[in-house]
């Protein structure tokens, strides 16, 4: 039982995913510190003298539970954009380049598809000559009837 678990954990793709998650967690922590220490004070200063940040007090003055904090939402959106950009440019782009040098295509554009006239499946590859779902022979590309 433990040998099977060890084999599962030590598979290359599991280790790759684990390393990717660790890198993402480290990047997330770094970007969160940036948004908390740099972006949040800038957003809060836009409100003026309020201590909570950019937003409106909906209830009793000074009650943080009833404070509509728009600044935190803006900060979270900025965090998300920065995080996704960092992941894309520091992980996805280099990984795509390394895999391309190995002859493997990853994260490519999806292939064009068409709809099967018999079963109406919408994800049949354009170059297919037979539907993968109902096995209907498909006419060559360009001769499909248009509705």
* Closest alpha carbon to 124 in 114, 137, 133: 114
Count of residues in the chain: 147
Instruction: Identify the residue whose tokens are 């992980």.
Output: 91
In the chain the first and final C-alpha atoms are separated, in Å, by: 57
Report the distance separating Cα 42 and Cα 29, nearest Å.
19
pLDDT tens per residue, range 84-140: 888 888 888 888 888 888 888 777 777 888 999 999 999 898 888 999 899 999 988
Report the distance separating Cα 56 and Cα 105, nearest Å.
49
Q: Which two tokens stand for residue 21?
A: 């998650």
What global pTM score does this model have? 0.54
* Closest alpha carbon to 73 in 35, 45, 37: 35
pLDDT of residue 49: 63
- Residue that wins the pLDDT comparison between 1 and 30: 30
pLDDT tens per residue, range 67-85: 777 777 888 888 888 888 8
Q: Which two tokens stand for residue 32?
A: 């969160």
């Amino acid at each position: 039982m433990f040998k099977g678990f060890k084999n599962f954990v030590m598979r290359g793709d599991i280790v790759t995913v684990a390393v990717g998650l660790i890198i993402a967690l480290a990047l997330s922590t770094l970007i969160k510190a940036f948004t908390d220490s740099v972006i949040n004070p800038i957003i809060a200063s836009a409100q003026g003298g309020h201590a909570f940040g950019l937003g409106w007090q909906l209830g009793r003055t000074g009650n943080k539970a009833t404070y509509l904090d728009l600044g935190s939402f803006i900060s979270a959106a900025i965090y998300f954009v920065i995080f996704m950009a960092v992941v894309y440019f520091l992980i996805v782009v280099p990984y795509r380049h390394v895999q391309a040098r190995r002859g493997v295509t990853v994260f490519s554009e999806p292939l064009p598809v068409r709809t099967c006239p018999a079963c109406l499946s919408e994800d049949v590859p354009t170059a297919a000559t037979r539907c993968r779902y109902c096995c209907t022979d498909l006419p060559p590309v360009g001769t499909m009837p248009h509705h």
